Structure 1
Amino acid sequence: MQPVIHLAVGYLCYAAYTRWNRDEAPAELPALAAIFGAALPDLVDHPLHAVGVTPVGRTFMHSLVFALPVIAAVWLLMRRRDREILGVAFAIGYLSHIATDVPWHLFWGDFHELGFLLWPITYMPAYSGVKPLGTVPVLGVEATTLWLEAVILVAGIALWRADDYPGTKPVRRLFGRS
């Protein structure tokens, strides 16, 4: 899945959680925590791969061996500071990232590519990339997983907009823009 799609999925998952539990849109800081959690695996693993530290772009932060302790540490830290909701939001975002990297491999039977889930215990081959979904008869073009990812991105942005862009106010304040 493309990195930006993980941000949309993280937001969609956290927004669903807040609506289910409190019947409201996400608040500013928890929304930001969820989006950051969804971004973190790629923010760490892709640069490590780019500079040759790891063999593939899904290693440390994509592995449950490392992810679960990171999530637990963030949750415990936020709980000690009476900001447990930030830990929950981070966990939802982070776990949504890992969960959305799984389905295409299951659907296409590329089970060997799920090695990232327990890396370095299990082997992780290079990611095989975008998968075909079929041909669009009217257009005569092949639809790929990128098409579905585009729909997810649009849905995430639409909900984020409808919720009045939660998570942007702290960032705008940080850069001196209200």
Structure 2
Amino acid sequence: MQPIVHPVVGYLCYAVYARWADGEPPASTPAAVAIVAAAFPDLLDQPLYHVGVTPVGRTVGHSLLFAIPLVAIVWLVARRHGRERLGVAVAIGYGSHIAADVPWHVLAGDYHELGFLLWPVTYMPEYSGVKPLGTVPGLGLEATTLWLEAVIFVAGLALWWHDGRPGLERVRP
């Protein structure tokens, strides 16, 4: 999944949770936390890759061997400080990132690219890029994962806007 789509997916997932748990759109702070947590694996892995510390752009931050302990620690600290909802937001945001990176590889049959899930125990090859999903009947156009990601991105932004843009006041001066 393209890095710009992950925060939107994180928001969508947290918004579903907030509506289920509270019956209303997400509060601002946990929404912002979920959005940042959803971006975190790429914010960690891409710089490591670009400066040559790791061999590919999906390693440490995308590995369940790193993610699960990190999320558990954050949740325990948040719980200890009476901010469990922030721990939940981190778990949902971070988890949505990793979960959203899996389907494209499965649909394309590129199972070997799922090595990021247990990196460094498993090998992670260079990401092969956009995956084909099929051909649009009658038009001869090839539909790719980018099309579906564009729909997810627009739908997520529309929901976030409809919800009053929670989290935005956290970045305004």
TM-score bracket, normalised by the shorter chain, equals over 0.9
TM-score (normalised: structure 2): 0.97
1:21 paired residue number: 21
Unaligned runs of at least 5 residues, structure 2:
none
After superposition, the C-alpha distances for 1:10-55 in whole angstroms (9 at most, x for unaligned) are 0000000011111010001000010011000000001111111100
The one-letter code of the counterpart of 1:131 is K
Letter in 1 for 2:153: L
1:43 aligns with 2:30: no
For 1:19 and 1:113, locate their aligned partners in 2 and report how far apart those are by CA, in whole Å. Answer: 34
Q: Which moved more, 1:122-131 or 1:134-143?
A: 134-143
Tell me how far 1:138 sits from its aligned partner: 4.5
Which residue pairs with 1:69 in the alignment?
69
Q: Is 1:109 aligned to residue 109 of structure 2?
A: yes
CA–CA distance in structure 2, aligned partners of residues 145 and 160 of structure 1: 22
One-letter amino acid of the counterpart of residue 84, structure 1: E
Secondary structure of the residue aligned to 1:142 is: strand
Q: TM-score, normalized by length of structure 1?
A: 0.94
- Give secondary structure in 2 for the equivalent of 1:24: coil
Counterpart position of 2:159: 159
What does the per-residue CA deviation read over 1:85-120, in whole Å, with 9 as the maximum and x for residues that have no partner?
A: 001001100000000000111112111111100000
Letter in 2 for 1:124: M
Q: What is the CA deviation profile of residues 110-168 of structure 1, one whole-angstrom value per residue up to 9, with x for unaligned ones? A: 11111100000111111111011222245432221100000000010000000000001
The whole-number CA distance in structure 1 between the counterparts of 2:80 and 2:114 is 34
Alignment: residue pair count: 173
CA drift at 1:81: 1.2
